[in-house]
């Protein structure tokens, strides 16, 4: 840092600023710099609003050279629409490399996001990521059937792995991924974005703090209307199934993380509109019930043939919380209904609004933090495996038309790592 003692102003270089947010070459008075944490990476501002009002915390981005380097594998819709733009909102991650089978697309995207040509890979040169120390995390955003192979290869290349949901197409594949990362001493996280999202975290808090009373019923629906084409989501070998592993997994997962419990009995049934070409190989609709040890019952639906519907409600003996939409990328709305604390004659239904930063930025920052501090992620491979164990049981139940028993682990959050920091 350069200092000009005659003016009492100091100049901070790009690396010392908030990841460039304050801008390169910004001049700050010495007193302001001291208030800003003396260049130690922590910026403080005096409050603007009264203490009765909500004020968002300032971002605390790491300098670029301290961020964790990511390679994004697969440049499809999720990567282009959500993940690559989300890097601008991360505080601990840096986009370093891209992996794609389409060289032209990779070059175009690389130009858009400032990725160097030397850091472009295809599926054959993928293993040479091992020689690139700038890449610490490989984020797998490929069709579901490819998650296991690309996780195992990434672990062998000495990289930590963030893998999209569903973790894979079978319990056996999930176990291979866990084993490969364990053998390589690398972290593995499943990209369950909503377990890092403030409304879902608040609902978890309400459920766990007993503010809802005893948990009784959970209901959730997550579905959408699929395009009439032969995309990989309609091929069983690539997708593993239809609506259930793709979008139904959000209902299943929410029932588990809101309660912290694991189901001991599950039953499911599925149905596809006859003659609809989209559903020759995979199911359109799946309805399922999960029974938990405390007595909580979850009733969920998922579909691939109806207008977007993404909602949940958790009903306790004293209150309920609902989210609608619950599973979207943004615009989540949360309501809480209970006896009014002010008027014993009234029932209050209140809406709670929480900060809505990119869910993908939050999830990536959590993993970067785990990599930097050698900590187990909140949603490690074991969490993805448990969802897959239940999905397999649900398909068995639908095929055999009978409920399936599952083992209870005997403690809450049995498959999760430490909770993410609240921000
Ligand atoms: P997509 O079809 O848009 O992208 C898939 C990418 O994989 C494409 O770039 C495609 O070229 C590439 N690919 C490589 N080999 C392929 C093959 N044999 N067949 C088809 N494509 C191949 O899919 P997407 O929507 O980006 O989904 C990718 C993954 O992300 C899936 O696992 C999906 O479940 C997950 N996803 C998660 C969320 C979320 O909210 N967390 C949202 C959407 C998708």
pLDDT digits over 123-139, tens only?
999 999 999 999 999 99
Does residue 223 contact residue 309 with C-beta atoms inside 8 Å?
A: yes
Query: In 24-81, where does DSSP find H-type helix?
Result: 30-35, 77-78
pLDDT in tens, 220-270: 999 999 999 889 999 999 999 999 999 999 999 999 999 999 999 999 999
Whole-number Å distance, alpha carbon 351 to ligand 1 midpoint, is: 34
Tell me, what's the pLDDT at 176?
Answer: 98
User: What ranges do the domains of the chain cover?
Assistant: 64-191, 195-356+381-405
Q: How far apart are CA 221 and CA 303, in angstroms?
A: 8
- DSSP conformation letters of 317-329: SSEEEEESS-SSS
Per-residue pLDDT averaged across 276-286, rounded?
A: 98
Q: In terms of Cα–Cα distance, which of 8, 5, 61 is closest to 33? A: 8
Q: How far apart are CA 90 and CA 62, in angstroms?
A: 9
Q: Which residues pair with 353 in a beta bridge?
A: none
CATH code of the region 195-356+381-405: 3.30.360.10
**Token pair 């610490």 is at which residue?**
136
Tell me, what's the pLDDT at 199?
Answer: 98
For the annotated catalytic residues, the residue numbers are 165, 250
Looking only at the bridges linking them, the beta strands covering 305-316 and 215-225 are: antiparallel
Atom of ligand 1 nearest to the CA of 360: 41
Q: How far apart are CA 261 and CA 252, in angstroms?
A: 11
Q: Is the confidence at residue 392, as pLDDT, over 50?
A: yes
Tell me, what's the pLDDT at 39?
Answer: 57
Q: How far apart are CA 250 and CA 257, in angstroms?
A: 10
**Token pair 């819709």 is at which residue?**
77
Whole-number Å distance, alpha carbon 144 to ligand 1 midpoint, is: 7
Residues with CB under 6 A from ligand 1: 74-79, 101, 141-144, 164-165, 191, 193, 232, 238, 246
305 CB-contact burial (10 Å; exposed 0-12 / middle 13-18 / buried 19+): middle
Quote the DSSP letter at residue 178: H
Q: Which residues pair with 120 in a beta bridge?
A: 98
Element (H, E) at 394: helix 381-400
Per-residue pLDDT averaged across 157-180, rounded?
A: 98
**Token pair 């990567």 is at which residue?**
79
CATH fold for domain 64-191: Rossmann fold (3.40.50)
pLDDT in tens, 2-12: 333 333 333 33
Longest dimension (CA), the chain: 83
Nearest residue (by CA) to ligand 1, atom 44, is 78
Does residue 308 contact residue 223 with C-beta atoms inside 8 Å?
A: yes
Measured CA distances, 407 to 35, 148, 262 (Å): 54, 25, 8
């Amino acid at each position: 840092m350069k200092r000009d003692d005659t003016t009492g102003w100091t100049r901070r270089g790009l690396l010392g600023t908030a990841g460039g947010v304050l801008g390169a070459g910004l001049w700050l008075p010495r007193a302001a710099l001291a208030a800003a944490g003396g260049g130690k990476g922590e910026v403080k501002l005096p409050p603007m609003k009264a203490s009765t009002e909500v004020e968002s915390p300032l971002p605390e981005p790491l300098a670029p050279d301290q961020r964790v380097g990511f390679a994004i594998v697969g440049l499809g819709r999720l990567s282009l629409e959500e993940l690559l733009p989300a890097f601008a909102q991360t505080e601990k991650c840096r986009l370093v490399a891209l992996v794609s089978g389409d060289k032209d697309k990779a070059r175009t995207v690389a130009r858009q996001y400032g990725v160097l040509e030397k850091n472009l890979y295809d599926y054959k040169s993928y293993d040479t990521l091992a020689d690139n120390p700038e890449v610490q995390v490989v984020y797998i955003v490929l069709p579901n059937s490819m998650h296991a192979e690309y996780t195992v290869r990434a672990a062998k290349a000495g990289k930590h792995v963030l893998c999209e949901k569903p973790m894979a197409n079978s319990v056996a594949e999930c176990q291979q991924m866990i084993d490969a990362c364990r053998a390589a001493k690398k972290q593995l996280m499943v990209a369950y974005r909503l377990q890092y999202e403030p409304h879902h975290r608040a609902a978890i808090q309400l459920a766990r703090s007993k503010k809802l009373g005893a948990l009784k019923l959970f209901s959730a629906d997550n579905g959408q209307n699929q395009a009439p084409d032969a995309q990989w989501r309609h091929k069983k070998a690539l997708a593993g199934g239809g609506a259930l592993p793709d979008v139904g997994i959000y209902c299943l997962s929410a029932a588990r993380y809101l309660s912290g419990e694991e189901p001991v009995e599950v039953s499911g049934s599925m149905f596809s509109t006859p003659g609809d070409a989209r559903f020759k190989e995979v199911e359109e609709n799946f309805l399922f019930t999960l029974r938990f040890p405390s007595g909580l019952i979850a009733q969920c639906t998922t579909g691939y043939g109806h207008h977007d519907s993404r909602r949940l409600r958790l009903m306790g003996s004293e209150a309920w919380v609902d989210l609608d939409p619950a599973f979207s990328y943004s615009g989540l709305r949360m309501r809480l209904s209970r006896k009014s604390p002010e008027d014993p004659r009234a029932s209050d239904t209140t809406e709670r609004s929480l900060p809505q930063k990119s869910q993908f930025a939050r999830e990536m920052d959590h993993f970067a933090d785990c990599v930097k501090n050698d900590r187990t992620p909140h949603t490690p491979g074991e969490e993805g495996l448990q969802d897959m164990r239940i999905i397999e049981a649900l398909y068995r139940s639908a095929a055999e038309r009978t409920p399936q028993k599952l083992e209870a682990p005997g403690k809450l959050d049995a498959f999760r790592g430490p909770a993410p920091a609240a921000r």
